[in-house]
């Protein structure tokens, strides 16, 4: 079983505009639509598109809760299993024009009772299951989340981390199954001058305990570090349609293929195909596009 967890999901309102937004003026959109947002949800959606079932954990509350759940009903392979809270799920505004502008809300406060309710759900996972923590972990929750993740790893649950730096650094010593980072995150956390620095950081994460490490580089290439070596795959070439969800697609693709083959390097190749499929789609990767890109992905080993 695969479980994804989004601690601060969002109801995303997309508004498309003919031109760029003008500050201080009324801007009228051409089109509006809504999506259930959050990095963990993105992973579940890509898994759904690949025909792989998953459960979606996280916190939902307020007037947006029911609408959020209704948006997930179109995905047959996603089973919502959220923890309901008193606070309001955040609503993000995504303005799409010549340039894209995001207005992201902070989100509700998660109480001690809320986190204990989530712990109860997580304790039901079995040995060999996969638990994907994606998206930012609120600073005040890090201690509780670290404890939960450590307990899961102790029970031989495969933990995947695609979350903030501080929690990742605390967790890597427990040997998580997969750590996913982006070069944008690394630039905020380390002194990154070139690609060699990115590779070295990936190797350090592996040496510190992560069994597999994937780093997306500027949404164009991805680095993979594991016991068999270090590899790079090219994700995009030109005329990219979409950069949202590429990293989440990498995670979903790696998990699907690894569960099927237990071949880590081939799983990275499939992950790169998923990232490519998302880059050239208006939405997240579909199986048809993934299969097309899989034949085109080339892996290049990076020498030490």
The pLDDT-based confidence of 240 (bands split at 50, 70, 90) is low
Any domain includes 219: yes
Q: What is the token pair recorded at 81? A: 């299993």
Give pLDDT, residue 278.
84
| Cα angle value 37/137/160 (rounded, 5°) | 80
Tens digits of per-residue pLDDT, 37-96? 999 999 999 999 999 999 999 999 999 999 999 999 999 999 999 999 999 999 999 998
Q: How far apart are CA 181 and CA 9, in angstroms?
A: 19
Indicate yes or no: pTM above 0.75. yes
Any domain includes 220: yes
Question: Which residues 6+ apart lie within 8 Å of 26 measured at CB?
Answer: none
Count of the separate structural domains present in the chain: 1
Beta strands in the chain (DSSP E): 2-6, 10-16, 31-37, 54-61, 78-80, 83-85, 90-96, 101-103, 130-134, 158-162, 178-182, 213-217, 221-226, 229-234, 299-301
Any domain includes 98: no
Segment among 229-238, 239-248, 250-259 with least mean pLDDT: 239-248
Looking at per-residue pLDDT, the higher value among 116 and 237 belongs to: 116
Q: Would you please indicate which residues are annotated as catalytic (active-site) residues?
A: 248
Give SS3 for 159. Answer: strand
For the domain that residue 117 is a member of, what is the CATH number?
A: 3.40.1190.20
Any domain includes 82: yes
Any domain includes 16: no
Task: Average the pLDDT over 210-237 and give the result.
Answer: 88
274-295: burial string, b at 16+ Cβ within 10 Å, e else = bbbbbbbbeebbbeebbeebbe
Any domain includes 24: no
Q: What is the token pair recorded at 100? A: 């894209």
Backbone angles phi, psi at 96, to 5 degrees: -110, 120
DSSP run (H or E) holding 118: helix 112-122
DSSP structure class, residue 73 = T
> The tokens 């799409």 sit on which residue?
96
Any domain includes 18: no
> Does 302 score more than 70 pLDDT?
yes
The pLDDT-based confidence of 239 (bands split at 50, 70, 90) is low
Any domain includes 171: yes
Which residue range is the domain that position 276 belongs to? 2-6+41-89+111-301
The pLDDT-based confidence of 294 (bands split at 50, 70, 90) is confident
> Does 225 score more than 70 pLDDT?
yes
Average pLDDT, the chain: 91
Are 194 and 226 contacting, i.e. CB atoms less than 8 angstroms apart? no
> Does 219 score more than 90 pLDDT?
no
């Amino acid at each position: 079983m695969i479980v994804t967890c989004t601690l601060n999901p969002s109801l995303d309102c997309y508004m498309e505009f003919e031109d760029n937004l003008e500050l201080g003026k009324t801007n009228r959109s051409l089109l509006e639509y809504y999506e259930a947002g959050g990095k963990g949800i993105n992973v579940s959606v890509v898994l759904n598109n690949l025909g792989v079932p998953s459960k979606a954990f996280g916190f939902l509350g307020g007037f947006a809760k029911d609408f959020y759940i209704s948006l997930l009903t179109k995905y047959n392979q996603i089973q919502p299993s959220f923890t309901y809270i008193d606070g309001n799920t955040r609503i993000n505004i995504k303005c799409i024009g010549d340039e894209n502008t995001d207005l992201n809300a902070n989100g509700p406060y998660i109480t001690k009772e809320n986190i204990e309710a989530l712990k109860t759900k997580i304790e039901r996972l079995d040995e060999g299951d996969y638990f994907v923590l994606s998206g930012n972990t609120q600073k005040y929750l890090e201690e509780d989340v670290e404890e939960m993740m450590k307990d899961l790893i102790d029970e031989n649950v495969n933990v995947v981390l695609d979350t903030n730096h501080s929690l990742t650094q605390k967790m890597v010593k427990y040997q998580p199954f997969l750590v996913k980072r982006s070069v944008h995150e690394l630039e905020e956390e380390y002194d990154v001058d070139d690609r060699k620095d990115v590779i070295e950081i990936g190797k350090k994460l592996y040496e510190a305990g992560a069994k597999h490490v994937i780093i997306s580089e500027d949404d164009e290439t991805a680095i993979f570090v594991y016991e068999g070596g270090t590899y790079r795959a090219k994700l995009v070439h030109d005329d990219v349609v979409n950069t949202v969800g590429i990293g989440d697609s990498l995670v979903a693709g790696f998990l699907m293929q690894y569960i099927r083959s237990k071949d880590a390097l081939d799983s990275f190749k499939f992950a790169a195909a998923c990232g490519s499929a998302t880059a050239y789609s208006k939405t997240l990767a579909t199986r048809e596009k993934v299969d097309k890109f899989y034949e085109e992905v080339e892996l290049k080993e990076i020498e030490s």
